[in-house]
């Protein structure tokens, strides 16, 4: 709801009571969990999408979140980094009302019909129907805190403010001297704690007291605060299940434990990356990321998640293919601008130029550390190219291309080389350009697209070890394969046939 429309809503308690939509009968005992439940039911009945932009969770995570909200549960999302946990909990605000009334000036956003703070109780008692009312939007009803070991009770719940007491002439134990923390200020909204296990034990005790009893102690003074909250947490499964990380009473009071996951299929990962990556950008050249190259980039993340050299407890974030895609597009863009070309078509060589966006997102095991992050990343690129190449060219005869290199041919393509001279080099390889039709690139395609497709074919042959490639010589014959073939054909190495009488 726009701020202009907020001004059209009731501004006093009396006007609020007279409005049918915000009547005391409707709002006095309606909690935020009731509100979320009602709005979710309406959304389900209308068959509208629940969480825009969340891909791959329709049959797994989202149904569990629906059950938790319908059950009025506080819940936790358990998952590795880059699994959209924070995005999901921020989207919960779309299930809140368009506007919520509260007592003007209240630090805890008091319900005008049931104020819990001393300030609002005194004000409504004194002014009655003239009590001023303010309105807030769903986004303003969301409070998020990243848990760190240095978070204090004062940060989360509040503290006695001696300056406030002195200025107003109140006793230090008076409730009006409290400076409220994040939890009370999130009253009648959603309070999210990211990385819950990093909270100190005494802070976790404060949380479960709020969840169960609705009361807290501030500096030894008992304060009754029946807060109205939906509490949502996120955590890494490894930390959450580790003994001593989460105190048992708090864990017991979390109604639902929901596990997130990485994309289960390559198509889901591609859809997420297309949605999130910044590739449609203002530029003097027209950028294009070929479909097969996008599949290679996504495959790198899938392979990394399975690789023994990569730490499974840390995970491989979906941000990896997103960042790589952006870097690849940028490298192609820079090449096209330098060469004065109109089209910037990404090539496999651009993925190698994007190594910094891979190595920084891999937490390696000991074996990976020994090899080095760049070596591990290059291996992942080669394996990804091999996998996607097989999807397009499985069973296709590539002997003519391999023979070109076996007879002494070589080809070095510079990553910064313009498309036209690169295409002339590639056309010298018999049978190469006709193979690009399987990638949707025909003879009439743009030079840059034809170069990218042909380079992918050569890279695929290298990935399957049918040809070789080095930084100095470029693509050449695979000596190990050729030596093995020569040895196989050598009559001196062949086993004599058994003679039968």
Strands 215-218 and 221-224: antiparallel
- Reported as a single tens digit per residue, the pLDDT across 160-175 is 665 555 565 555 555 6
Q: In this predicted structure, what is the pLDDT of residue 384?
A: 97
Instruction: For 81-134, give the DSSP string.
Output: TTSSHHHHHHHGGGGS-S-EEEETT-TT--BTTB--SHHHHHHHHHHGGG-BEE
Q: How confident is the model at residue 4 (pLDDT cuts 50, 70, 90)?
A: very low
Residue 501 has pLDDT above 50, yes or no: no
Residue 8 has pLDDT above 50, yes or no: yes
The rounded distance, in Å, linking the Cα atoms of 485 and 480 is 9
- Reported as a single tens digit per residue, the pLDDT across 354-396 is 999 999 999 999 999 999 999 999 999 999 999 999 999 999 9
Q: In this predicted structure, what is the pLDDT of residue 471?
A: 81
Residue 422 has pLDDT above 90, yes or no: yes
Q: How confident is the model at residue 150 (pLDDT cuts 50, 70, 90)?
A: confident
Which carries the bigger pLDDT value, residue 277 or residue 224?
277
Domains recognised in the chain with CATH numbers: 31-98+137-259 (3.40.50.300), 266-485 (no CATH)
Q: In this predicted structure, what is the pLDDT of residue 493?
A: 52
Q: In this predicted structure, what is the pLDDT of residue 482?
A: 58
Stretch 342-354: mean pLDDT: 94
Structure-derived torsion over alpha carbons of residues 44, 47, 50, 56, reported in degrees to the nearest 10: 120
Residue 313 has pLDDT above 60, yes or no: yes
Instruction: For 207-219, give the DSSP string.
Output: HHHHHHT-EEEET
C-alpha dist (Å) from residue 194 to 95, 197, 199, 351, 399: 20, 9, 10, 33, 55
pTM of the full structure: 0.86
Q: In this predicted structure, what is the pLDDT of residue 166?
A: 53
Phi, psi of 364 (to 5 degrees): -100, 150
Q: For the chain, how many residues are written?
A: 501
- Reported as a single tens digit per residue, the pLDDT across 85-114 is 999 999 999 999 999 999 998 988 999 999
Scan for tokens 């399975």, then name that residue. Answer: 306
Residue 496 has pLDDT above 80, yes or no: no
Q: In this predicted structure, what is the pLDDT of residue 178?
A: 73
Six-digit token string for 255: 């109604």
Stretch 324-337: mean pLDDT: 96
Which carries the bigger pLDDT value, residue 413 or residue 492?
413
What is the average pLDDT value for the chain, to the nearest integer? 87
Q: Which residues contact 452 (CB under 8 A, 6 or more apart)?
A: 290, 293, 345, 346, 347, 348, 441
The rounded distance, in Å, linking the Cα atoms of 291 and 211 is 49
Q: In this predicted structure, what is the pLDDT of residue 500?
A: 44
Stretch 400-409: mean pLDDT: 93
Least confident window among 203-212, 301-310, 438-447:
203-212
Q: How confident is the model at residue 245 (pLDDT cuts 50, 70, 90)?
A: confident
Which carries the bigger pLDDT value, residue 1 or residue 96?
96
């Amino acid at each position: 709801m726009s701020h202009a429309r907020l001004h059209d809503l009731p501004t006093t308690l009396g006007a609020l009571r007279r409005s049918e939509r915000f009547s005391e009968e409707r709002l006095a005992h309606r909690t935020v969990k009731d509100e979320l439940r009602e709005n979710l039911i309406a959304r389900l009945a209308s068959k509208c999408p629940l969480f825009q932009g969340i891909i791959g969770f329709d049959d797994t995570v989202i149904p569990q979140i629906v059950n938790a909200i319908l059950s009025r549960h506080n819940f936790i999302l358990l998952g590795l980094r880059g699994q959209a946990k924070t995005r999901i909990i921020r989207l919960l605000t779309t299930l809140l009302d368009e506007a919520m009334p509260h007592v003007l000036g209240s630090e805890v956003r008091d319900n005008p019909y049931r104020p819990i703070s001393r300030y609002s109780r005194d004000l409504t008692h004194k002014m009655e129907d003239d009590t001023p009312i303010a309105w807030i939007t769903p986004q303003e009803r969301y409070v998020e805190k990243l848990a760190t070991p240095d978070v204090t009770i004062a940060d989360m719940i509040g503290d006695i403010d001696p300056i406030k007491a002195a200025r107003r002439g109140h006793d230090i134990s008076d409730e009006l001297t409290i400076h409220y923390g994040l939890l009370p200020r999130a009253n009648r909204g959603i309070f999210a704690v990211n990385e819950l296990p990093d909270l100190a034990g005494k802070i976790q005790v404060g949380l479960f007291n709020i969840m169960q009893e609705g009361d807290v102690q501030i500096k030894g003074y008992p304060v009754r605060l029946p807060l109205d909250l939906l509490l949502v947490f996120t955590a890494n499964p490894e930390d959450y299940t580790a003994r001593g990380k989460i105190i048992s009473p708090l864990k017991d009071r979390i109604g639902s434990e929901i596990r997130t996951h990485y994309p289960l299929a390559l198509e889901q990962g591609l859809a997420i990356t297309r949605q999130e990556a910044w590739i449609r950008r203002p530029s003097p050249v027209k950028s294009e990321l070929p479909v097969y190259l996008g599949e290679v980039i996504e495959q790198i993340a899938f392979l990394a998640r399975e690789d023994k050299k990569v730490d499974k407890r840390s995970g491989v974030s979906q941000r990896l293919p997103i960042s790589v895609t952006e870097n690849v597009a940028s490298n192609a863009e820079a090449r096209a601008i330098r060469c004065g070309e109109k089209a910037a078509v990404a090539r496999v060589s651009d993925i190698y130029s994007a190594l910094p966006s891979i190595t920084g997102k891999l937490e390696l095991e000991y074996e990976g550390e020994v090899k080095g992050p760049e070596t591990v990343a290059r291996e992942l690129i080669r394996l990804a190219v091999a996998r996607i190449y097989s999807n397009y060219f499985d069973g296709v005869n590539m002997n003519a291309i391999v023979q070109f290199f076996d007879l002494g041919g070589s080809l070095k393509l510079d990553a910064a080389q313009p498309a036209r001279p690169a295409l002339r080099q590639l056309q010298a390889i018999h049978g190469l350009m006709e193979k690009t039709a399987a990638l949707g690139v025909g003879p009439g395609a743009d030079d840059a697209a034809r170069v990218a497709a042909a380079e992918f074919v050569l890279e695929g042959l290298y990935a399957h070890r049918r040809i070789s490639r080095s930084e100095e010589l470029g693509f050449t014959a695979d000596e190990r394969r050729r030596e093995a073939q020569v040895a196989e054909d050598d009559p001196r190495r062949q086993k004599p046939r058994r003679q039968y009488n």
